[in-house]
Amino acid sequence: MEKVNESIGYEKHLRSGEVLFKEGATGDEMYLIRSGKIRIMKDLEGTKKTLAVIGEGEFFGEMALLDKRPRSASAIAETDAKLIIVDRNAFLSSVNKNPFIKYIIETLTTRLRKTNNMLKYFSVPNEKIRFLLFVKDRLSKNEEGDMDTGLDADGKEIAEVTGVPLDKIKEYLKELKEYNIASLDGNLVIKSPQKFEKYEEYITLQEEFRR
């Protein structure tokens, strides 16, 4: 790894097919393509989809640079490539000198994250499965017993993010309560992750048999 400029970052060389980072990985860097091409891919329901192939002069990975949240997609070298890895501290040092610019960048990052999440759920045609996928994403995989999703039981946030009509969301929530899978006192709380998982499998199988 060769240092390019202390105020910018470092240069990195990739071979064709080499993975720069995977979806879900933590990151705090962004990348500028000096030469070559990078393929950006996302896992949508178990299938790898290409979101873009970008080339010289373009940049990517900027959201992780700003908010340090997990990568929303994977980046793979389409050809041999040279990248400039932009240093987080140097970048933020420049941004922090102008509070207005900092505010704009943070706002744009939040909006982009929200759009990415919505696209993920909109790719699932079955509305009930889309609902269950969103709830599942709000559960902690390391806990057992009652699990608070942090979602208001009125269903408005779920409807907004998934694009499923609110009346249907309320119907799905009521069903979870009737099956003793969830409680709806204030927040949506999953009382049995095991039952929730079996219910999700059942709904998924129903959808497969209808095709």
Q: Burial, 197: exposed, middle or buried (Cβ in 10 Å; 0-12, 13-18, 19+)? A: middle
Instruction: Give Cα separations from 190 to 153, 165, 180 (angstroms).
Output: 11, 21, 9
Torsion sign across C-alpha atoms 11, 12, 16, 21: negative
Q: Mean pLDDT, the chain, as a whole number?
A: 83
Query: Tens of pLDDT along 2-41?
Result: 444 445 678 899 999 999 999 989 888 889 999 999 999 9
The predicted structure's pLDDT at residue 101: 75
| The domain made up of 2-121 is a member of CATH 2.60.120.10 | yes
Residue 140 banded pLDDT, cuts 50, 70, 90: low
Mean pLDDT over 148-169 rounds to 90
| The domain made up of 125-210 is a member of CATH 1.10.10.10 | yes
Residue type, 13: H
Q: What is the pTM of this model?
A: 0.50
The predicted structure's pLDDT at residue 1: 44
Domain boundaries, the chain: 2-121, 125-210
62 compared with 18, residue with greater pLDDT: 18
pLDDT at 95 over 80: no
Torsion sign across C-alpha atoms 82, 25, 110, 53: positive
The predicted structure's pLDDT at residue 2: 44
Among 149, 145, 133, 132, smallest CA distance to 189 is for 149
Rounded CA gap, 109 and 114, in Å?
A: 9
Give the chain as a DSSP string.
-EEEETTTEEEEEE-TT-EEE-TT-----EEEEEES-EEEEEEETTEEEEEEEE-TT-EE-HHHHHH-PPPSSEEEESSSEEEEEEPHHHHHHHHTT-HHHHHHHHHHHHHHHHHHHHHHHHT---HHHHHHHHHHHTS-TT--S-EEEEEETT-HHHHHHH---HHHHHHHHHHHHHTTSEE-SSEEEES-HHHHHHHHHHHHHHHHHH-
